[in-house]
Amino acid sequence: MSNFLAIASVTAALSEVLQTAVGNDVAGAVVNTNRPDASGTPGTSVNLYLYQVTTNAAMSNVDLPTRRPSGELARRSQVALDLHYLLTFFGDEGKLEPQRLLGSAVSTLHSRPVMTRDLIRQTIAKTKYDFLVTSNLADAIELVKFTPLSLSLEELSKLWSVFFQTPYSLSVAYQGTVVMIESEGSTHAALPVRARNIYVAPLRRPEIETVVSAIGTNEPILSTTTIVINGRRLRGEITQVAIAGIDVTPAAQDLTDTRISVQLPAGVRAGVHGLQVVQPALMGTPPIAHRGVESNLVAFVLHPAISKKLDDSPDVSVSGVTVATDGTKSGDLTLKLDPKAGKEQRATLLMNELNPPSNRAPRAYSFDAAPHSAPADPAETDTLVFPFSGVAPGDYLIRVQIDGADSPLEQSTDVNNPVFVGPTVAIP
């Protein structure tokens, strides 16, 4: 493939072909590569001007794909171009020099439409083209071929009146195709295949039916929870559980064909997550795990939990309390939770009055956490501060909602009177 000098090399080589032809056919004729509207009165000459470059439709995508899924450069990118040239002829009209030059140029390009490698090398070797010395167009696989373009009177009129804004001169258009320009990036070539093996395995895709807490089907899943995956064909030669992008390998005693028990890995934040059973395939010599079969994706909710102190009370504190004229309180409620909340996650405090009187509706409030998304703030934290205002004094059940997942409430052990009893906070 060619480097960035390919276009200029084509123009130079075409100029040399025309110079040899018209110089022999019309005495004193020269070939220029200027704009047709360049200042000065041209003598007996042919002006070669590249007025348009277009993408070659047939070869515009031959380089794809250029990168592997990992982003590494697999092959150098290429751009396929067609070059559109305008040949303009000048000279003594009385001696019909422009028409003689036209005949010479058209005859030459009709008999020699292909730009040969020898022609390109000879052109680049000339002293006046020393700026093209590093061009490698001569080594390109595709040779450049020239064909005449049939421009209508309207197209010619627009070309001269809009582009050049100068009186029309006898001219003809040609297209050179195709010029392949290749980037100079460093590719990552894989090693050759050392050995070939064929592996046959039955189509046995695992299927997940439910994901529940090991404590109970209706119990919330917390960061300390062991989760149970129920389904079919769950056990493979190698079995892994992908949880929120983290691969976990269950212990052999926790794995059967219909059930997997696994502890949630550290680093999974509260919210909705996806879970899959993955069964890699062992292939190669020696055997190496490759991507095998994957189960359906099942969503589950990881609930946050308000941490507890050593005395088993909720790790919650209220500070900076002020009293409004109506007797309501304002201040900051600080709590610790597990797992940690990310700075981009939305945290909301939910407060419900504990043991409200029967003669009115129970009080309820919700407050968003103080912003902690500044660049200097940590990526995740287990301590959240909730500014509150307009809260009536009293005891409240509290929950934390992280991206829509609520922390659980504690229930009384009295089966005859199952009510929520914690965690609570007192607003003085």
CATH code, 363: 2.60.40
**Among the residues of 26-171, which ranges form H helices?**
97-111, 117-125, 153-158
Cα-flanking dihedrals φ and ψ of residue 400, to 5°? -115, 130
Q: Which helix (H) or strand (E) holds 54?
A: strand 45-55
* Whether residue 210 has pLDDT greater than 60: yes
Q: What is the pLDDT of residue 161?
A: 85
Are 249 and 294 contained in the same domain? yes
Tokens encoding 153: 């009177």
N- to C-terminal Cα distance for the chain? 80
103, 227: one domain: no
If you average pLDDT over every residue of the chain, what do you get? 87
Per-residue pLDDT reduced to its tens digit, 2-23: 888 999 999 999 999 999 999 9
Asked if the model's pLDDT at residue 78 lies above 80, the reply is: yes
Residue 419: the pLDDT is 87
DSSP lists the bridge partners of residue 49 as: 86
Q: What is the DSSP string of 344-369?
A: TS-EEEEEEESS--TTSPPPEEEEEP
* Domain assignment of residue 66, yes or no: yes
- Domain termination residue (choose one: 138, 167, 182): 182
Q: Are 96 and 189 in contact (CB under 8 A)?
A: no
As for how many domains the chain has, the answer is 3
End residue of a domain, out of 302, 326, 355: 302
Single-letter code of the amino acid located at 402:
I
User: Quick check: 87 pLDDT over 90?
Assistant: yes
pTM for the predicted model, two decimal places: 0.54
Do 19 and 166 lie in one domain? The reply is: yes
Task: Classify residue 195: in a domain, yes or no.
Answer: no
Residue 121 lies in a domain: yes
pLDDT over 70 at 40, yes or no: no
**Residue 321 shares a structural domain with residue 295:** no
When pLDDT is cut at 50, 70 and 90, the band that residue 192 belongs to is: confident
pLDDT one-digit tens code per residue, 113-149:
999 999 999 999 998 999 999 998 998 888 999 999 9
Q: Yes or no: say if 426 and 391 are a contact pair by the CB < 8 Å rule.
A: no
Say if residue 409 is in the same domain as residue 382: yes
Inside any domain, residue 194: no
Cβ(293)–Cβ(204) below 8 Å: yes
**Does residue 192 sit within a domain?**
no
Is the domain of 16 the same as that of 159?
A: yes
Mean pLDDT of 209-219: 89
* In-domain check, residue 408: yes
Same domain as 247, residue 221: yes
pLDDT over threshold 80, residue 189? no
User: For residue 85, what are the contacts with CB-CB under 8 A and spacing of at least 6?
Assistant: 11, 14, 48, 49, 50, 51, 173, 174, 175, 176
Burial class for 110, CB neighbours closer than 10 Å (0-12, 13-18, 19+): exposed
The radius of gyration computed from the CA coordinates of the chain, to the nearest angstrom, equals: 39
Q: Is residue 161 part of a domain?
A: yes
> Among 268, 302, 336, which residue terminates a domain?
302
What is the distance, to the nearest Å, from the Cα of residue 17 to the centroid of all Cα atoms in its chain?
47
Residue 38 predicted with pLDDT over 70? no
Residues 175 and 289 in one domain: no
Q: How confident is the model at residue 304 (pLDDT cuts 50, 70, 90)?
A: very high
In a domain, 197, yes or no: no
Residue 111's pLDDT is what? 94
Cα distance between residue 230 and residue 241, in whole Å: 12
Domain that holds residue 20: 6-182
**Whether 61 and 78 share a structural domain:** yes
The reply to whether 10 and 66 lie within a common domain is yes
Judgement on whether residues 264 and 408 belong to the same structural domain of the protein: no
Both 156 and 264 in one domain: the answer is no
